[in-house]
Amino acid sequence: MIKTALSHPNKALVIYWGNENDMLRIPTRSSLSITLQGISHPLDYIVSLRTMPSSKRDKVIIDGIEDKGEIYSHFVHHLAAMRRYTGFKEKVEVTTRKSFPVGSGLAGSAASASALAEAFAGLIGKTADTRLKSIMARRGSGSASRSVLGGFVIWQKGNSNDSSYAEQLFNEHHWDLRNVIAIVSSNPKKIKSIEGMKLSKKTCPEQLYSGFVGVADRHIKQISTALSARDIAKLGAFYEKENYLFRQVCLKTIPPLDYWTKATNDILDKVSDLRNEGITAYAGTDAGPNVHIFTVPKHVERVIRTIQEAEEILDIIHCRVGEGSRLIEEHLT
């Protein structure tokens, strides 16, 4: 049997950063994100899973080349967690293809782990069960729990494996919001997110980290209200506020997690200048130097023109609100 799934990345407006339980990836705070589908470039991650009834081990093929290293271990670990959860035993051949812009610095872990979970759900005949898929995706990458759903998504942290999953707040047709991503670096992070968030939880001043955890539900409520009203100014203000708080948590971590570069700062300044001219565009980052700008369709061209002037910009990716992970009929060979 073979099943193939396609999935997209997502951008958190209320960020996931730290686990109550690292093994199960049960987070310290709930989060809210928007699933992103590329307009200027594809942002697709495709995974085919082919069962291998007589095999004793899984096989992983990335862009046509068999991997036996770090990626293989990560997939095998993720598959093992999904097998334990569902009782599915067969070994599989995992074939993946990523059509993100080369060197975009977008890691795609949310897209890859959600595509793997979606294809796995296809093998066990549970494609309609979004809760199961979100739980399974979470075990590969926390943020992947949200890419199972399209549109505007909330991951309620829960307190156990079964109660920590994402649900859709509004689907991708609710509001034609746009995300312009300024790519300023294609280098892999020195400290991976999973390690960075552990450090923050352990070393960040207690008051700051508990404040960050404590305010998440309020931020989710405020952002949900702005999304419901399709109010870009309110949405943007809350997005930037949450991002500023995340930045403080990163900087107060030991060692400090300073993900920004000069180009990041330049672009943030340019977006703030645009706002002074009445352009509703709002900027923030993830755990990296690239800048995610949220705006509405009528301002996209102006935003792109403005950030193109920044030094050190490598690429600009224009996205709309995307669909969740889904099965497709074209299988990777």
- Is 143 an interacting residue with respect to ligand PMV (CB under 6 A)? yes
Nearer to ligand PMV, 34 or 300 (CB): 34
Nearer to ligand PMV, 16 or 120 (CB): 16
Binding segment for ligand PMV (CB under 6 A), chosen from 10-18, 160-168, 172-180, 216-224, is 10-18
Interatomic CA distance for residues 255 and 203, integer angstroms: 9
- Is 35 an interacting residue with respect to ligand PMV (CB under 6 A)? no
How many residues line the site for ligand PMV (CB under 6 A)? 13
> How far, in Å, are 150, 282, 283, 311 from residue 270 at the CA level?
30, 10, 10, 12
- Is 148 an interacting residue with respect to ligand PMV (CB under 6 A)? no
For residues 156 to 185, the per-residue mask of contacts with ligand PMV, x marking binding by CB under 6 A and - elsewhere, is: ------------------------------
Q: Which of 15, 123, 204, 245 contacts ligand PMV by CB under 6 A?
A: 15
Interatomic CA distance for residues 29 and 217, integer angstroms: 8
Nearer to ligand PMV, 16 or 72 (CB): 16
* Least Cβ distance, residue 169 to ligand PMV (angstroms): 15
**Rama region for 178: left / alpha / beta (φ>0; ψ in -120 to 50; rest):** beta
Nearer to ligand PMV, 28 or 48 (CB): 28
- Is 110 an interacting residue with respect to ligand PMV (CB under 6 A)? yes
The first and second tokens of residue 101, run together, are: 């812009």
For residues 197 to 216, the per-residue mask of contacts with ligand PMV, x marking binding by CB under 6 A and - elsewhere, is: --------------------
Q: Is 241 helix (H, G, I), strand (E, B) or coil?
A: helix
Q: Which residues of 157-251 form beta strands (DSSP E)? A: 165-170, 178-183
CA 324 to chain centre: 12
299 touches 249 (CB < 8 A): no
* Least Cβ distance, residue 331 to ligand PMV (angstroms): 26
Interatomic CA distance for residues 175 and 114, integer angstroms: 23
- Is 16 an interacting residue with respect to ligand PMV (CB under 6 A)? yes
* Least Cβ distance, residue 110 to ligand PMV (angstroms): 6
Q: Which of 58, 172, 286, 315 contacts ligand PMV by CB under 6 A?
A: 286
* Burial class, 70, CB count within 10 angstroms (exposed 0-12 / middle 13-18 / buried 19+): exposed
211 touches 234 (CB < 8 A): no
- Is 81 an interacting residue with respect to ligand PMV (CB under 6 A)? no
CA angle centred on 82, ends 152 and 53, rounded to 5°: 130
* Burial class, 314, CB count within 10 angstroms (exposed 0-12 / middle 13-18 / buried 19+): middle
* Least Cβ distance, residue 283 to ligand PMV (angstroms): 16
* Least Cβ distance, residue 159 to ligand PMV (angstroms): 19
Which residues sit at the interface with ligand PMV, rule CB under 6 A?
Answer: 12, 15-16, 31, 109-110, 141-143, 193-194, 286-287
